[in-house]
Amino acid sequence: MKIHKHVLMVILISILVLPGLATAQNKYFRKWPSGKSPLEIGNRVADHFIETPHPNFGSPKPPGSITYPETCAWFGALLFADASGNDALTKKLADRFTPFYGTESKLIPLPDMVDNTVFGAVPLQLYIQTKDRQYLETGIAFADKQWTLPANPKPGQEELANKGLSWQTRLWIDDMFMITTIQVQAYRATRDEKYINRAASEMVYYLENLQRPNGLFFHAPDVPFFWARGNGWMAAGMTEILNALPSNNPNRPAILAGYKKMMASLRDYQALDGMWRQLIDDKDAWEESSGTAMFTYALITGVKKGWLNENEYGPLARKAWLALTEKINANAEVEGVCEGTNKKNDRQYYLDREALTGDMHGQAPVLWCAQAILSK
């Protein structure tokens, strides 16, 4: 069989160049100090999650249903288990879900708003890792409910549906992880492009309405503050979509542009120690871990995927990861995590939010970071 010269040249270039590119995009994410590697940190934080009862936003009482911070940590632990090849951890995470099909069925949240609907991302990831179809059925029901208009819609919800958007749309930046993640997971589990198209259309709508000229996002149109974790949800949401969105999707250029614009702004606001502040652009604000971890996840992924210049953003991502590891105590609990926060047009409200230790808002994105570093 004859091989044309130009084909041979392409093969030769692939052999010589592509491994170099892979190495380059990973050079900032290797050779970690003892105790700070993503494998060590991920295992510690995931094991702590397994041992932790279902949380209820800091209340000692059990929750009435699974909360979204637990969902996000559960999702992160599953991704980490997959990236690290830890089948035993996957089984433990699946075992934690089993009671929902029996004695704890009442803990499954109603998919009636974004914070509840994201729960479906967990069974969808369990399906991806185990191929057990009961997980698929559970997760897809949540994803479809998000685009199925209620029988008695509230004012504005039918208008949103007519635009092809979710009736759960509310233009809070938090939504852009909650809505997009469940839809992206449904796409990954089924390969049905309607799900990824939903996520992409929703993200573009939020970008058009909420991204500011500096690349960051107000918490909501009527709340002109760059709250760190809220911006972290946007950064992580864009990252999740870009990870799955086909290259020919018409919304990809706008989402990638929004992502790059945000990352460039975050570069300018990173503190010397690698952290970001509770209000990103406010030097009087305290350094906050959950937003920092979400930004770190977005940066790590962008560098590894080639969306960002590795030599410009790789050192920032590495510094941020190392800073985060300093916030993890001996019990594998992340310190300096902003408590649950509603929107409010009041700067002092954000500055006065309590910094918690071990809150799932912080545990979750540390797991996302660990898996992002380990993923190929």
Instruction: Give domain status of residue 19, yes or no.
Output: no
> 10 Å Cβ neighbour count for 87?
12
What residue type is assigned to position 134 of the chain?
A: Q
Residue at 36 is within a domain:
no
pLDDT band, very low/low/confident/very high, at 3 (cuts 50, 70, 90): very low
Mean pLDDT of 205-210: 95
- In which band, very low, low, confident or very high, does the pLDDT at 220 lie, cut at 50, 70 and 90? confident
295-315 confidence digits (pLDDT tens) = 999 999 999 999 999 999 999
Structure confidence at residue 364 (pLDDT): 98
User: Given this model, what pLDDT does residue 221 score?
Assistant: 87
In a 13 Å sphere around the CA of 146, the CA atoms on its Cβ side amount to: 31
Q: Look at residue 336 in the predicted model and tell me its pLDDT.
A: 98
Is residue 7 in a domain? Answer: no
Write out pLDDT tens, residues 122-140: 999 999 999 999 999 999 9
Cα dist from 310 to 28, 140, 301, whole Å: 8, 36, 11
Residue range of the domain that includes 237: 45-374
Strand ranges (DSSP E) for the chain?
Answer: 276-277, 287-288, 337-338, 355-356
Mean pLDDT, the chain, as a whole number? 93
Range from 22-31, 118-127, 166-175, 220-229 carrying the lowest mean pLDDT: 22-31
Is residue 305 included in any domain, yes or no? Answer: yes
Q: Tell me the average pLDDT across 89-114.
A: 98
33 in a domain, yes or no? Answer: no
Please list, residue by residue across 283-293, b when 16 or more beta carbons sit within 10 angstroms of its beta carbon and e when fewer do.
eebbbbbbbbb
What is residue 25's predicted lDDT score, i.e. its pLDDT?
52
Q: Tell me the pLDDT tens digit for each residue of 151-205.
A: 999 999 999 999 999 999 999 999 999 999 999 999 999 999 999 999 999 999 9
Q: Is the pLDDT of residue 55 over 50?
A: yes
User: What does the pLDDT read at residue 376?
Assistant: 85
Query: For a pLDDT cut of 70, what percent of the chain falls above it?
Result: 93
Q: Which tokens in the block code for residue 196?
A: 């990824």
Q: Work out how many domains the chain is built from and give that number.
A: 1
Residue 117 has pLDDT above 90, yes or no: yes
Q: Does some domain include residue 97?
A: yes
**CATH code where residue 273 lies:** 1.50.10.10
**Residue 118 placed within a domain:** yes
Q: What are the tens digits of pLDDT across the range 315-359?
A: 999 999 999 999 999 999 999 999 999 999 999 999 999 999 999
Is there a domain that residue 34 lies in? Answer: no
Taking the C-alpha atoms of residue 257 and residue 247, their distance in angstroms, rounded to an integer, is: 14
Percent of the chain with pLDDT over 90: 92
